[in-house]
Chain A
Amino acid sequence: MHLTRRSALASAGLALVAACTPKGRTAAAPAVDPDVALTAAAVAREQALLAGYDDALAAAPTLASRLAPLRAEHAAHLAALGSPESPGTSSTPASSPTRSPTGPPTPPALLRDLAALERTAATGHATAVLTASRALGPVLASLAASESSHLVLL
């Protein structure tokens, strides 16, 4: 979500009006809290990872014992971000642009793709740590560290 300064001010003004309305509905949270966008981006990174793991598990079930514990940690990350994975909404395997047209990807290729996804997510989380609140910062730091540690097993 991208808010211009003008629309952010307008939202804040509306919230103020709502807050002042007698018996008014609860005002929405201020739209300028930077944690909102940082959390949404972190959730998106975790969902991309979950989809990547689901893709890999569908393509190579023999990797399950290796990948299932790592996938579970990404589900735990979503919960830590206050956005737990909803049951039964496991992502459908998406076609990967790196997939060879000549056949299904091999386990080494799948692991390499997952490692790249983990690295990207680790960098994103670590960058977000710099500007997050003191409440969200430590959570994102743990997520960055977890993604990095997954590379030991990929």
Chain B
Amino acid sequence: MNEASALADALATEHAAIYAYGVLGARLDDPTRQLAQAAFDAHRARRDDLLARLRSRRLPTPGPAASYDVLVTGRTQALTLAVRVETEVGVRWRDLVAVTDDRGLRGLAVHALQDSAVRAAQWRKTAGLSPVTVALPGRV
């Protein structure tokens, strides 16, 4: 993996996260729905940040996939999907740290990893899952 492919992977995962939150948010009630809305907004901001950095490097900026394999029929599935989304996003951002020395990208990646770990913990806590945290977020 190189910097360009890690950036592309991070973008693809952010696209997927935005789609997933759009679907799962509809299956939640307040105040949990607000948590999903905040996560949706945060992932859109990360996506936009990534798009800007890809453009400045004259790299491709692929859009979201035509469809995602996401099935959410109730609250439990919605929360499980939210945990999965944040876990996958975290892996991609951590991967980026391993293939770039660019401080700007490192800073973006570590903050995105921190945010995803916090949200994953919030979702696990909301779902009543245990443990709520993991020792090394983003590590496969």
Interface residues of A in 91-146 (CB under 8 A from B): 122, 126, 129-131, 134-135, 137-146
Residue B116 at the A interface, CB < 8 A? yes
Quick check: which of A6-14, A35-43, A52-60, A72-80 contacts chain B, the rest being far away? Answer: A72-80
B99 interfacial by beta-carbon distance below 8 Å: yes
Complex contact A142–B125 (CB within 8 A)? no
Q: Is the CB of B94 within 8 A of A152?
A: no
Chain A neighbourhood of B97, CB < 8 A: 129, 134, 137-138, 141
For chain A, the bracket of interface size reads 20 to 34
Cβ B122 vs Cβ A152 within 8 A: yes
In the assembled complex, B132 has its CB within 8 A of some CB on chain A: yes
A153 surroundings in chain B (CB, below 8 A): 121, 125, 132-133
Asked if B117 lies at the interface with its beta carbon under 8 angstroms from chain A, I say yes
Q: Does B45 contact A (CB under 8 A)?
A: no
- Where chain A touches its partner, the secondary structure class is helix
Q: Is B131 close to A, CB under 8 A? A: yes
Contact A126 B110 (CB under 8 A): yes
Contact code string B104-140 (vs A, CB < 8 Å = 1, else 0): 0011011101111110111001000001111111110
Asked if B133 contacts A142 (CB within 8 A), the reply is no
Q: Is B52's beta carbon under 8 Å from chain A? A: no
User: CB of A151 within 8 A of chain B?
Assistant: yes
Of B100, B106, B116, B120, most A-chain CB atoms within 10 Å: B106
> Are B138 and A149 touching (Cβ within 8 A)?
no
Bound-state Cα–Cα, A89 to B132, Å: 28
Task: Report the nearest A residue to B107, measured CB to CB.
Answer: A130
Q: List residues of chain B with CB within 8 A of the CB of A50.
A: none
The yes or no answer to A70 lying at the interface (CB within 8 A) is yes
Decide yes or no whether B58 CB sits under 8 A from chain A: no
Q: Are A142 and B101 in contact (CB under 8 A)?
A: no
Determine if B90 is an interface residue (Cβ-Cβ < 8 Å): yes
How many whole Å from B21's CB to the nearest CB in chain A?
18
Residues of chain A in range 61-75 having any CB-CB distance to chain B below 8 Å: 69-70, 72-73
List chain A residues, Cβ under 8 A from B55. Answer: none
Chain A to chain B contacts (Cβ below 8 Å), 11 pairs: A77-B135, A134-B100, A135-B98, A137-B98, A138-B98, A140-B110, A145-B113, A145-B117, A146-B134, A148-B118, A152-B118
Residues on A lying within 8 angstroms of B by beta carbon are 69-70, 72-73, 76-77, 80, 122, 126, 129-131, 134-135, 137-146, 148-153
The 9 A-B pairs of least Cβ separation, nearest first, read A145-B117, A76-B135, A145-B137, A152-B121, A142-B136, A73-B135, A149-B117, A149-B121, A148-B114
